[in-house]
Structure 1
Amino acid sequence: MTGSVVYFLYPTLCSRGSSTHSSQCPQSYHDPPSIGSRTLSSPRTMACSRTCSRILGLSLGTTALFAAAANTVLLFPNWDVTYLLRGLIGRHAMLGSGLWGGGLMVFTAATLISLMGWRYGCFSKSGPCRSMLTVLLSSGLALLGALICFITSGVALKDGPFCMFDVSSFNQTQAWKYGYPFKDLHTRNYLYDHSLWNSVCLEPFKAVVWHVCFFSALLCISLLQILLVVIHFISSFLGLFCSLCGK
């Protein structure tokens, strides 16, 4: 309230020409005086937004590398390449959503976000329209890739691993085949019943543990990516809005 009174009385005080106030009057009374340390500058707000973009870009890029690594490991159960060569890899891992979704798409968006934060190249003098367009493009690209990876990982955990199991209980003859033994097992949930982990899948060795660990990692990574994208969008929008208000 005191700051508002000083602001409106400032032109009157400056126009009197008294020696007391003449040394304190600015060249143009249209510029409001600084009251203590309350004056907020638009450059400071934009600098904070750029710092957030640098941190979020680095974080998203790191999560994209972890997602690509987790999906790559799923292609080599027990570090054995023969399953991939024989085509005995589940469709969820072969889809590669962690490679091109949570990996490549998110990494591309992270690169755009980092370039905006460091004001490098064509982003050195980006106007409001170009900045907002880049924010929407990078956020949409990263969000789409993370959502694809998240949904695929959730479905993979629901269906269970692709492995060789015994089907003798169905036709009374001893036989083994590759498939999804837990997909049609409605009476028991393999995620909670650990006694099924080593008794159903015969090959690859510890296929359930391998499947659950790395698809759970992909699920958590993609969820973290979605959270980072939302934070980036909110931070960039507030920074752009504050800069326009400051101007």
Structure 2
Amino acid sequence: MPCSQTCSRILGLGLGTTALFAAGANVLLLFPNWEVSYLLRGLVGRHALLGSGLWGGGLMVLAGATLVSLMGWRRGCLSKSGPCRTVLVALVSSGLALLGAVSCFITAGMALKDGPFCMFDVSSFNQTRAWKYGYPFRDLHGRNYLYDRSLWTSVCLEPARAVLWHVALFSCLLCASLVQALLVALHLVNSFLGLLCGLCGRLP
């Protein structure tokens, strides 16, 4: 049991850290190149505005991490919890954190697939020099901007380094959500092992 509680403390800390990391990455996505003007003018992509790194990989995972930590420290209502309550709290905390991680993972994956929201030249379509904001990489047939880095500076005109900002931060969200899912799985295994050890220790 002490070993299981120590693992819960470590897992809770890990989940809490990744939750803060995901929330921070999502906040940065709202301010391309550290500028507030794009958000004020409504020129931020829908994936960033969806905020899954804030409410999903951030708040929901942080709530789950708090429950996991309480299990480890045996504080509050968990100070003298029985096996049934322990299993219930483990399932609730794991489900909450996993749901947040999955929502963050899906949004980050879709964002990387669609590419950044930026201003690009549409003159090749209507033969006149014109610029507009949109998702230029969604219409590129046969070319994947993630592998063709020559497109990173030639397609998006504004914000500067829009592709790098987009790819780096959404990749961070993708990795953070994967780590969160792994920690949730470890938490479930740890909880059930702790439950089995506790039940075995009560046997005469």
* TM-score grouping bracket, smaller chain normalisation: over 0.9
**Which 5+ residue runs of structure 1 have no aligned equivalent?**
1-45
Once the two structures are TM-superposed, the CA of residue 245 in structure 1 deviates from its matched residue by: 2.5
| 1:243 partnered with 2:198 | yes
Could you give the per-residue CA deviations for residues 131-175 of structure 1, whole angstroms, max 9, x where no partner exists?
A: 100000000000000000011101100000000000010111111
Q: TM-score under structure 1 normalisation?
A: 0.81
Residue in structure 1 matched with residue 188 of structure 2 by the alignment? 233
Residue in structure 2 matched with residue 218 of structure 1 by the alignment? 173
Once the two structures are TM-superposed, the CA of residue 187 in structure 1 deviates from its matched residue by: 1.5
Distance of 2:128 and 2:195 partners within structure 1 = 69
Greater share of helix: 2
| 1:145 partnered with 2:100 | yes
1:17-96 paired onto structure 2 within 5 Å: 46-96=1-51
SS at match of 2:120: strand
Once the two structures are TM-superposed, the CA of residue 237 in structure 1 deviates from its matched residue by: 0.7
Following TM superposition, where does structure 1 have runs of at least 4 consecutive aligned residues deviating by more than 3 angstroms?
none
**Larger RCO, structures 1/2 (Cα 8 Å, 6+ apart):** 2
Residue in structure 2 matched with residue 154 of structure 1 by the alignment? 109
Distance of 1:187 and 1:116 partners within structure 2 = 51
Once the two structures are TM-superposed, the CA of residue 184 in structure 1 deviates from its matched residue by: 1.5
Could you give the per-residue CA deviations for residues 19-44 of structure 1, whole angstroms, max 9, x where no partner exists?
A: xxxxxxxxxxxxxxxxxxxxxxxxxx
Aligned partner of 1:93: which letter? A
Match of 2:61 among 106, 119, 127: 106
| 1:97 partnered with 2:55 | no
SS at match of 2:139: coil
Give aligned pairs, total.
Answer: 202
SS at match of 1:183: helix
Once the two structures are TM-superposed, the CA of residue 125 in structure 1 deviates from its matched residue by: 0.2
Aligned partner of 2:177: which letter? S
Once the two structures are TM-superposed, the CA of residue 246 in structure 1 deviates from its matched residue by: 2.6
Residue in structure 2 matched with residue 170 of structure 1 by the alignment? 125
Distance of 1:104 and 1:63 partners within structure 2 = 11
Distance of 2:110 and 2:141 partners within structure 1 = 15
SS at match of 2:72: helix
Residue in structure 2 matched with residue 116 of structure 1 by the alignment? 71
